[in-house]
Structure 1
Amino acid sequence: MAAVADRRNNNMPHACLRSRSLLWSAVFSLFLAACSEAEKPGAGGGPAARPALPVVTATADTRPMSERVRAVGTLQANESVMIRPELAARVERIHFQEGRPVAAGQVLITLDAAEYRAQVAQTEATVEANRLTFERAADMVRTNMVSQQDYDQARARLAESRALLERHRVMLEKTTLRAPFDGVAGLRLVSPGAYVQPGQDLVNLEDLDPLKIEFRVPERHAAALTVGRPLTLRVDAVPGGAFTGEIYAIDPRLDAATRTFALRGRVPNGDGQLRPGMFAQVELTVGEHPQALVIPEQAIVPRGERLYVFRVTDGTVALVPVVTGLREPGIVEVVQGLAVGDTVVTEGQMKLRDGVPVTATAQDAAS
């Protein structure tokens, strides 16, 4: 009996192992059955439908767009000059007020002219004496009382003295400094009584209406830019203000280093808000696209060096490559890849893949 009991005890581990194997086999069979059930066709005979993802969409539409060029430049006075004397003299009087308008021809500064008036008076006397001498020589040469040489010398002395008189009169005139054009006087750099030298800065004069703007644009726009084309500029010193003008001159020579050419425009400044030297942002319209196909800018999905959009067709999305053109705030022109009426995803692209079903909520294409 003891031997039989020992044999039974030795067979018990084997029985446990067989029970465990049968248990694991049953679990594995249930797992396979569950997987097979999941792969069975649905009620419609197709694979089980994936849940639709919610997205916001917009419709591609047409609208007019303008091709614009933006540049930066510096405002300049329409005319600008630094008043400088041509003579060495003492400042006798200042006739203008700093920062105030002056008219063309108005006297700005008078220099001490006593010496130059004396030179004119002296030369006038010399001219008169030479004139009388010449007249006598002319009478006497007809009667052969003087030689032709003496007559010629008398005539030459008269012409020389007259030329010297004209020179002294010009120098006297230069003691009065006048405004060459209408403008606004700047801050003077001298005081009455100061002794000035030729070429010394005295005061600047600026013509502030209109103002000039000089800027540069790339050579590819050369054909579109012409004299008279409107421009719009903005300056940081006048927040929110936009000023209009037009191009009046184009440099015929291209800068070979930057591949740009210079343009100048004029901008009315009747209210005096603009000042020479201000930094300005210039905008020009160089082309019109009256039927541009546009979509919201947020619909564009960049991947590498290419651009895509998710186009919605029959409730599913397809990743479509596109080529873009002009841009305006919030919208972009599509020149290749879409057609009028196509629906594109504008929100929710992060979870999308090609062929994924979606539930769309419409959005205005221009928003």
Structure 2
Amino acid sequence: MPRYRHVSLQGRNSDRHARASPISSDPRFPTPVPLLTQAPVKFTAVRHCDFVCCLLLLATAGCHATESATVPVRDDEPIKADRHTAPALTVRPSVWPTTVRTQGTLVADEHAVIGSKVSGRVAETMVDLGSIVKRGEPLVRLDPVDFELHVERANAQLAEACAAVGLEVSSDTRSLDSESIPFVQVEKAIWQEASDALARLRNLHEKNAVSQAELDKQVALTRVANARYEAALRTVDENLALIQSRRAELAQVKQDLKDATICAPFDGVVQQRHLAAGTFVQPGTPVATVVRIDPLRFQGRVPERKATLIRVGQAIRIHIEGNPEMINAQVVRTSPSLDPSSRSLQIEAEVSNPKSVHRAGLFAEGYVEVDATATTLSLPENAVGEFAGVHKVWFVKEDNHIGIRTVEIGRRLPQRLEIVSGLAEGDRVLEQFTDGDHRNSELLTRHE
């Protein structure tokens, strides 16, 4: 009978197979049967059956190991329902005044290019770009030397004219009596003497005491005296007129001296300074540009098809670029005619700007309220979501399930949006548009 021997594979391979076996340490299973090697290898029937049983046991152990790795499902764990809890609201009409939209610009209430009234050289500039000035505050000062000399000369000429008639410089010419002036009194006395002499000669001529030639001579002398007297009176009138002229000249040069200091005509801000010290200016030369920005004027244009709806006194809400808040104002001026090139009506509103927050030149949009009692469908801003320019709401269906619906929005108010299409009166939507997919979810709360 041939002899058989067991041969076990020792080394790394046998150890690795022993460690990898899931049942190698389980006492319920026998120790793995070592491999038998013989050339040729032969088994008895008993040995062959043992080997087959070991293979079956290994397969059974692997199945148990697989089943034990599966996570069991608890029978008492509740299954999550497809439901959503959130407040809802009903779409209803709300008061939303009908408005006419207009685009425009904020412009300065007053804009003045200040020029010089007199000729002269600039001695000093007191303002620059952005300087805040009050009415009467100096902007530029010219060299006053020439103007002061002109004032002195005018004073001297006035004093000369007053002295000619014996009048004080400060005296009123209307109270002057021409007969009281000395040279007038002299001429009047000569004329009276000649008149008396003529009267005496006429008496003597009647008595043939004097000749006709002597009488004619006296008549001529009397006429000359009378003419000189009249001339003296006219001279007084000329001197009085000259005094008035000298006083006007004095007032003019004093005004020139005053105008040598160029002042702001109103409260405002310096937009531009046109010259510097040392510049020689002529009358009309610009020295600075001053604008008044409190209030500002909103100038907008309304299309022709809506121009008939605009009236002075209507409320207007103005949105200034870069300012999130709306400004309430009134339409204060409208053009009497439409611009033929743009077929639009120009309107103006005043925007209060006490702290100079807004600046002239800003772009602005105006909404003129033409019907304050109009209504429209609207929703809170939080109820509407936006993605890629598309606006959507969570819509509550009749069966109380949630769906998504696209809407078109129109005008905007703070925290509220006008719904142009996509919803009807009585529809229900979620009060808050949130991220996530709530479609076909059941709404658990009733609408408000």
Which of residues 320, 338, 356 in structure 2 aligns to 1:234? 320
- Give the aligned partner of residue 385 of structure 2: none
CA deviation profile, 1:310-332 (whole Å, cap 9, x unmatched): xx99xxxxxxxxxxxx8665512
- Give the aligned partner of residue 238 of structure 2: 153
- 1-side partners of 2:268 and 2:146: how far apart? 31
Which of residues 198, 212, 228 in structure 1 aligns to 2:297? 212
- 1-side partners of 2:425 and 2:257: how far apart? 79
Contact 1:69 1:286 in 2 (8 A): yes
Is 1:182 equivalent to 2:267 in the alignment? yes
- 1-side partners of 2:425 and 2:285: how far apart? 69
Q: How does 1:1-367 map to 2 (within 5 A)?
A: 61-135=92-166, 139=181, 140-142=183-185, 144-145=187-188, 146=229, 147=231, 148-219=233-304, 220-227=306-313, 229-235=315-321, 238=322, 240-292=324-376, 329-332=417-420
Q: Which amino acid aligns with 2:356?
A: G
- 2-side partners of 1:121 and 1:83: how far apart? 28
Change (3 A) 1:228 1:59: closer
1:83 offset after TM fit, Å?
Answer: 1.9
Moved over 6 A (4+): none
Change (3 A) 1:173 1:292: same
- 2-side partners of 1:196 and 1:188: how far apart? 14
1:176 offset after TM fit, Å?
Answer: 0.7
- 1-side partners of 2:123 and 2:337: how far apart? 47
- Give the aligned partner of residue 5 of structure 1: none
Q: SS state of the match for residue 261, structure 1?
A: strand
Q: SS state of the match for residue 227, structure 1?
A: coil
Contact 1:293 1:333 in 2 (8 A): no
Q: SS state of the match for residue 154, structure 1?
A: helix
1:279 offset after TM fit, Å?
Answer: 1.9
Change (3 A) 1:73 1:151: same
Scaled by the length of structure 2, what TM-score is found?
0.50
1:180 offset after TM fit, Å?
Answer: 1.1
Q: Identical aligned pairs, as a percentage?
A: 25
1:224 offset after TM fit, Å?
Answer: 4.4
1:340 offset after TM fit, Å?
Answer: 5.9
- 1-side partners of 2:259 and 2:369: how far apart? 49
1:221 offset after TM fit, Å?
Answer: 4.2
Q: SS state of the match for residue 209, structure 1?
A: strand
Q: Tell which structure's C-alpha radius of gyration is larger.
A: 2
Equivalences, count: 262
CA deviation profile, 1:196-252 (whole Å, cap 9, x unmatched): 2322222221222221111122353444432262332222xx253433333222223
Q: Which amino acid aligns with 2:311?
A: L
Q: SS state of the match for residue 217, structure 1?
A: strand
Contact 2:108 2:292 in 1 (8 A): yes
Contact 1:224 1:287 in 2 (8 A): no
1:129 offset after TM fit, Å?
Answer: 0.9
CA deviation profile, 1:2-37 (whole Å, cap 9, x unmatched): xxxxxxxxxxxxxxxxxxxxxxxxxxxxxxxxxxxx
Change (3 A) 1:233 1:176: same
Q: Which amino acid aligns with 1:82?
A: V
Contact 1:94 1:110 in 2 (8 A): yes
Q: Which amino acid aligns with 1:234?
A: I
1:130 offset after TM fit, Å?
Answer: 0.5
- 2-side partners of 1:115 and 1:291: how far apart? 73
Contact 1:85 1:198 in 2 (8 A): yes
Contact 1:292 1:333 in 2 (8 A): no
CA deviation profile, 1:63-82 (whole Å, cap 9, x unmatched): 22221111111211122212
Change (3 A) 1:253 1:141: farther
